[in-house]
A and B are shown apart, each in its own frame.
Chain A
Amino acid sequence: MSSTGIGAPVRRKEDARFLTGRGTYTDDINRPGQVHAFILRSPHAHAEIKGIDTAKAKAAPGVLTVYTGADMQVGGLPCGWLIHSKDGSPMAEPPHPVLAQGKVRHIGDPVAVVIAETRAEAKDAAELIAVDYNTLAAVVAAEDALKPGAPQLHEQAKGNLCYDWHLGDKAAVDAAFAKAAHVARIDIVNNRLVPNAMEPRAAIGEYDRATGEHTLYTTSQNPHVIRLLMGAFVLQLPEHKLRVVAPDVGGGFGSKIYHYAEEAIVTWASARVNRPIKWTAERGESFASDAQGRDHVTHAELALDKNGKFLALRVATIANLGGYLSTFSTAIPTYLYGTLLAGTYTTPAVYVEVKSAFTNTVPVDAYRGAGRPEACYVIERIVDTAAREMKIDPAELRRRNFIPKDAYPYQTPVALTYDSGDYFTTLDMALKAADYAGFEQRRQEAARRGKLRGIGIATYIEACGIAPSAVAGALGARAGLYETAELRVHPTGSVTVFTGTHSHGQGHETTFAQLVSERLGVPIEMVDVVHGDTNKIPFGMGTYGSRSLPVGGSALFKAIDKVVNKGKKIAAHLLETDEADIEFKDGKYSIAGTDKNVAFGQVAFAAYVPHNYPIEELEPGLDETSFYDPKNFTYPAGCHIAEIEIDRDTGIVSVERFTAADDFGRIVNPLIVEGQVHGGLAQGIGQALLENAVYDEDGQLVTGSFMDYCMPRADDLPAFDVATHTTLCTHNPLGVKGCGEAGAIGAPAAVMNAVVNALAPLGVTDMEMPATAERVWRAIAEKTMPRAAE
C-alpha cells in the first residue's frame, strides 16, 4: 500500500476548497445579464385552477414576464421505471406537468413563474398573481387514498392506485406458514422523511443565440441523466445543443437525482427572454418541493419452526408516492425493497405485495438507502419480535438463520444472487465491541438511576452498485446503469480523470485519485478528477445507490488497464524489447528480471511527442475511455447495535452507545468510509427518534421548517464505534461493495429494537418511529397507570 494508494487514509483533497468557502455551488455562479425566477407554488394540497390573472404581476417593477402552465406547453416530467402489476398491466402513469395544468395536487406544486431583474422583484410580483382555486378534499395517507370514496388525484389512476405489485412464491409461503411452529406478526410504519441537503436546490438556465446552445447549471447528482430526460422528454432539445453542469453540490441523499420542474423552467424560459435565469430554493421551498423519502405502512408475518429456523416471510406494504411520479419513485418500494426481504437469512420462501398510491403530498422518491432501509426495518423488527416471543436471544436467532459462509453465490427467493458475505463475523465483531455480554449489568446500573436501558441489534444487507443494465431493463428500468471513465494522461505524466459519477459529499476527488495513484504509481497531487459537466465528461449515469466506486471506479480501473497496456507497447519500443517482457510496477515499465526501465512519465511523453515511437502500429496519445456495466449488484452487509436509555419521567430516549461492523468489500479510503458511516448513522438515528414529515388532513405540511422538523444534531448522537470486516466483491475488479447508505439502513431498526427492548420489561411490545418522548411516555403510562390507579 502506497501512502496515497488503495487503503490509505488520505485526507480529502477537496476539503481545503470546501472548508475555506472556496467551493463553487450553483448559486455562486452568476452569468452576465442574469435575471431571477420565483416560482409561485400552490398553497393548497388539492385544487382546481379556474383561472390565473397575471396582468398585475407582469406590470410590476422589474418584471420581464410571467409564465403559467398555459404558456409552457411542453412534455411532462418523465418517470424512469415502469412497474407492472400482479395482473401484468402497466402502472398508472399520469402526466406530471412542469407547471400546473388546471389542477394542483400537493402544496408546493408549481403554478407560475415570474422572471424579474431581481429576486425580490420577482417575489413581490408573484404576490400580485391572482389564482382562482376551487379547493378539493385532500387525501394524505396512502392507506386512505386506496379506500373507496377517497378524493381522486388523477383521471389515469383509478382509486389512486399506481400499481399492485408482488414478488415471490405465494404458494410456497402459504405452505410454509401451514406447518410453522410459531408465527410472529408486526404492523409497522416507515415514517416519511424530508431529505434536507445542506445546499438547497438551484438552477440557472442560459441560452446562446449565436450557437443555439442551452446551458443548465443545476444541483444534480447526475447531469447526463438530467440532459437526457429534459432534452429528450420535456423540452425536445437535441443533446448536442444542451449542456448540463452540476458544479459543487452540497449534499443530495437521493433528492438531487431527479429531474425537477425548475430545471426545465429556467432552461425553457431563458431562451424566450434571452437572458440567463437563476432560481434558488428557499428552505421552505425545499420542504415543499424536494422529493421526500420512505412512507410505508406494512404488515409482516414470519413463520418459524420450533428451533427458530425461518420458514417463510409474508409482507404486505402500502407505499405513498405523493402527488406525482418522481423520476425513480416507482422502483423504490418494489425492486429496491421487495428484493431485499431475504436479508442476511436463509428464509426459503418470501412473498411480498406492494400497493403504491397517489396522495396529495410532495412526491416521494429515493432517499439514502431507498427501499433497503424499509426492507431492513421490516425484517429486523420482526426477527426481534420472534426472538422475544420464542424466548431466544436475538443474536442467537440471527446466527441460526444466517446464510452460511460457504453458501455463496447464494440465490435468494426474491431474485437476487449474493456474491459474497460473512454475517457471522460482523455480528461477532459488533457484539464484542458493544460488550453485549455485559449489557445486563449496565441495564441494572441504569435501573438504579431510574432509567430503562435497552439494546438492539440489526443486521442488514443492501443491493448496491446499481446496476446490471440488462437486469434493470428486464425489471422495467428505462435507462442503462453502467458507468464511464476517461483517463487522460498528459504529456508530462500528470493525469485528469473524467468520471460519469458525481461527487456531492462522497470525496471522489480523493478516492478516484487514489485508484490512479495506486495503479500508475503517480503521486496523488498529480491526479485531478473532473465530474459534473456534460461538455467535459463522457456519458455517465451519476451517483446514487452506492454505485460510484463499484461501477464508476471499475470503469476507471478498466481505463487504467487500457493505459497501462498501451504504455507497455510504448515502453517495449523504448527499451527495444518484446512487449511480453515488459512489467509495470510502481510507476515504472521494466524488462522482467533486469534493471532496465522507463518511468511512466517518460512513456507518456513519448506518446505525445512521438519522435521515437512505434507509429506504424500504435496511435499517439495516452487517453483512454472505458464503459463498465456491472455483472451483478454488490451486497454490503453488516451488523449495527444500539444501546439506549429512556427517562421514565419524560419518555426521552437517548442513544448511549452505537456500534457498527460493516462489510463494504475492499476499502479504498478508511477515513472517507468512516465519515460516510457516521453520516448515515446520524440519518438513521434521526429517522428512528427525531425526523417525521407530518401533513395535516388538509395536506398542509405541518413540519415545513426546522422549527418543527427535527434534524439530528451532534448532541443527539453518541460517539460511534465503527469497524469493518472485508469479504471481497467477486465480480468487480476492485472488490468493492459501496458504503454510502449502510448507516441509514441498519440504524433505524437497531435503535427501535433497543427502544422496544428497554420497554419490554413493562410489557410494551411495539413502538413507532420516530420514538418521540411523548410516544414513549404514553407507552410507559399505558402499562404503569392501571397499577398506579389500584
Chain B
Amino acid sequence: MYNFDYQRAQTVADAAKALSGKEEAKLLAGGMTLIPTLKQRLAKPSDLIDLGRIAELKGIKREGNAVVIGAMTRHVEVATSDVVKSAIPALAHLAEGIGDPQVRNRGTIGGSIANNDPAADYPSAVLALNATVITNKRKIAADDFFKGMFETALAPDEIVTAVSFPQAEKAGYSKFPNPASRYAVVGVFVARTGGQVRVAVTGAGPVVFRQKDMEAALAKSWSPDAVAAIKQSANGLNADIHASAEYRAHLVTVMAKRAVTAAG
C-alpha cells in the first residue's frame, strides 16, 4: 500500500468538499475492491475519503411505491431487511449471494454500483428494476448510469447517496458464480414493473446490459419457456479461464430461465 491521506467525512457535503479539486482522491465505501487494490499497489490515491461515518447514507426505507436504500447500506442489511424482503424479495436474495459473509458484512450497494465491476451482482438489479441512482447532485436513471467496464455516469466529484428501487410485480435473480471468487460469471435479473419487462445481464459482458429479445418474449408470455429458446450472441462477451464467451452466452439463457422461475 502506498501512502495516502485518510479523511473521515461526517456528512455528504464534507465528503464532496474533500473530493473537490483532488483528481487523485478516492472515496472509500466498504472497501471490498479498493482495499485489496491498494494492498496490491495497483492504485495510488492521494486521499482516501471514508464515507463510513455518514449517517445520512445509511438505511433502508419505503417511499411510496419504492424502496430507497442508502449508498452505505451493507449487503447483509439488504439481505436481511424486512422492507426489502417483503417489497422486492429478489433484491434481498441477490444481496444474500454476494461474495462471502465477510464481504456482505462490509460491502455496500453504493460502492458496488459506483465501482461497476462487470461481474458485480447489483448492477443487474438496478438496471432490471429500472432503479434511480440518487447522487449529491442529481438523479440518474439506471439506463444512463452504467457506461462501460468500471465506468459510470458519475462525475469525478459526484457521490452516490441512495438507490431508489420501484417495487416490481415480479422479479427474480439467478447467477452462475465463479467457483473461486463467487462473483457472477453470469447473473440475470428479470423484472416486471408496471407491466414493463426488463431483463438485465451481469457478468457476461464488459458491462451490465439489457437482453431485449428476452424482454419482448417475457412481455408476451411471462414463463421460463418464453426465454428458453432465445439464444444470446457470444459476440463481445467476456472470456476467461472460468468461462468462454460461448459458454457465457449459453448461461445467459439458462440463468434467465431460472430467474423467471424464481420470480414466479
Beyond A284-B40, A774-B247, A777-B250, is A703–B181 a contact (Cβ under 8 Å)? Answer: no
Contact partners of A777 in chain B: CB under 8 A: 247, 250
Q: Is A496 an interface residue (CB 8 A)?
A: no
Flag whether A479 is at the interface (Cβ < 8 A).
no
Task: Tell me which of B41, B179, B250, B251 has the highest count of chain A C-beta atoms within 10 A of its own C-beta.
Answer: B179
Asked if A706 is at the interface of the complex by the 8 Å CB criterion, the answer is: yes
CB nearest to A711 among chain B residues: B180
Are B241 and A708 within 8 A (Cβ)?
yes
CB neighbours of A694 from chain B (8 A)? 241
Do residues A690 and B179 form an inter-chain contact, with CB atoms below 8 A? Answer: yes
B254 contacts the other chain (CB 8 A): yes
- For residue A710, which residues in chain B have a CB less than 8 angstroms away from its CB? 179-180
Contact residue among B1, B41, B241 (Cβ-Cβ distance under 8 Å from A703): B241
A437 CB–B CB distance under 8 Å:
no
Q: Is A171 an interface residue (CB 8 A)?
A: no
Task: List residues 222-264 of chain B with CB under 8 A from any CB of chain A.
Answer: 240-244, 247, 250-251, 254, 257
Q: Cβ of A650 and Cβ of B251 under 8 Å apart?
A: yes
Complex CA distance for A410 and B100, rounded to whole angstroms: 51
Min CB gap A198→B, angstroms: 16
Contact with A along B18-42 (1 / 0, CB 8 A): 0000000000000000000000110
Give the distance in Å from the alpha carbon of A124 to the alpha carbon of B179 in the complex: 34
**Is the C-beta of A208 less than 8 angstroms from some C-beta in chain B?**
no
Q: Which partner residue on chain A sits nearest B251 by CB separation?
A: A650
> Is there contact, CB below 8 Å, between A774 and B180?
no
Chain B residues, CB < 8 A from A474: none
A133 at the interface (CB under 8 A from B): no
The reply to whether the CB of A34 lies closer than 8 angstroms to some CB of chain B is no
Closest to A703 in B: B241
- Cβ-neighbour of B180 out of A709, A773, A778 (below 8 A): A709
Q: Judging by beta carbons under 8 Å apart, are B181 and A708 in contact?
A: yes
Q: How far is the CB of A200 from chain B (nearest CB, A)?
A: 14
Residue in B241, B243, B247 whose CB lies within 8 Å of A702 = B241
Q: How far is the CA of A326 from the CA of B181 in the complex (A)?
A: 30
Bound-state Cα–Cα, A690 to B178, Å: 11
Which residues of chain A come closer than 8 Å to B243, judged between CB atoms? 773-774
How far is the CB of B188 from the nearest CB of chain A, in Å? Answer: 13
0 or 1 for each of A687-707: is its CB under 8 Å from B? (1 = yes): 000101010000000110011
Q: Mark B171-197, 1 if CB is under 8 A from A, else 0.
A: 000001001110000000000000000
Residue A525, interface by CB 8 Å: no
A772 interfacial contact with B, CB 8 Å: yes
Quick one: closest B residue to A781, CB to CB?
B250
With a cutoff of 8 Å between Cβ atoms, the chain B residues found around residue A702 in the complex are 241
Most chain B CB within 10 A, of A284, A708, A709, A778, is at: A708
Q: Which residues of A contact B2 (CB under 8 A)?
A: 124
Q: Is residue A649 contacting chain B, with contact meaning CB distance below 8 A?
A: yes
- Chain A residues within 8 Å of chain B by Cβ, number: 23
Q: Mark A706-722, 1 if CB is under 8 A from B, else 0.
A: 11111100001000000
Distance between Cα atoms of A694 and B242 in the complex (Å): 11
Q: Once the chains bind, are B242 and A774 in contact (CB under 8 Å)? A: yes
Are A650 and B242 interface neighbours, CB within 8 A? no
Cβ of A706 and Cβ of B244 under 8 Å apart? no
User: Closest residue of chain B to A709, judged by CB?
Assistant: B180
Chain B, 117-135, CB within 8 A of any chain A CB: none
Determine how close the nearest CB of chain B comes to the CB of A450; give it in whole angstroms: 12
**Inter-chain contact A774/B244, CB cutoff 8 Å:** yes
The distance from the CB of B175 to the nearest CB of chain A, in whole angstroms, is: 11
Complex interface: chain B residues within 8 A of A284 (CB)? 40
Contacts of A778 in B (CB 8 A): 247
Query: Hey, what's the 0/1 contact readout for A770-786 against B, CB within 8 Å counting as 1?
Result: 00111001100000000
Chain A residues near B251 (CB, 8 Å)?
650
Instruction: Provide the bound-state CA to CA distance between A702 and B242, in Å.
Output: 11
Query: Looking across the interface, which residue of chain A has its beta carbon closest to that of B1?
Result: A120
Chain B residues, Cβ within 8 Å of A708: 180-181, 240-242
A716 neighbours in B (Cβ, 8 Å): 179
Closest to B181 in A: A707
Given contact pairs A650-B251, A777-B247, A772 touches B242 in the complex (Cβ within 8 A): yes
- Distance between Cα atoms of A332 and B176 in the complex (Å): 38
How distant is the Cα of A703 from the Cα of B241 in the complex, in angstroms?
9
C-alpha spacing A63/B250, complex, angstroms? 54
Contacts of A774 in B (CB 8 A): 242-244, 247
CA distance A650 to B181 in the complex (A): 18
Residues in A with CB closer than 8 Å to B179 are 690, 710, 716, 772-773
Distance in Å from the Cβ of B142 to the closest Cβ of chain A? 27
Residues of chain B contacted by A649 (CB below 8 angstroms): 254, 257
Instruction: Give the complex CA separation of A706 and B36 in angstroms.
Output: 12
Q: Chain A 645-672 against B: per-residue CB contact (8 Å), 1 yes, 0 no?
A: 0000110000000000000000000000
Q: Inside 8 A of B257's CB, which chain A residues have their CB?
A: 649
Contacts of B41 in A (CB 8 A): 127
Contacts A649-B254, A650-B251, A650-B254; A707 near B241 (Cβ below 8 A): no
A127 to B1, CA, bound (A): 12
Residues of A within 8 A of B180 (CB): 690, 703, 706-711
Complex Cα gap A708–B182 (Å): 10
Interchain CB contact under 8 A, B40 and A650: no
> Cα distance A716–B182 when bound, in Å?
12
Q: Which single residue of chain B is at the shortest CB-CB distance from A652?
A: B176
Interface string of A291-331 (1 = CB under 8 A from B): 00000000000000000000000000000000000000000
Which B positions have Cβ atoms within 8 angstroms of A? 1-2, 40-41, 176, 179-181, 240-244, 247, 250-251, 254, 257
Give 6 nearest A-B pairs by CB, closest first.
Answer: A710-B180, A707-B181, A710-B179, A649-B254, A774-B247, A694-B241
The 10 listed contacts between A and B (C-beta, < 8 Å) are A124-B2, A649-B257, A650-B251, A694-B241, A707-B181, A708-B181, A708-B241, A773-B243, A774-B243, A777-B247
Beyond A708-B181, A773-B176, 17 extra complex contacts between A and B, CB < 8 Å? A120-B1, A124-B2, A284-B40, A649-B254, A702-B241, A707-B181, A708-B240, A708-B242, A709-B180, A710-B179, A711-B180, A716-B179, A772-B179, A774-B243, A774-B247, A777-B247, A777-B250
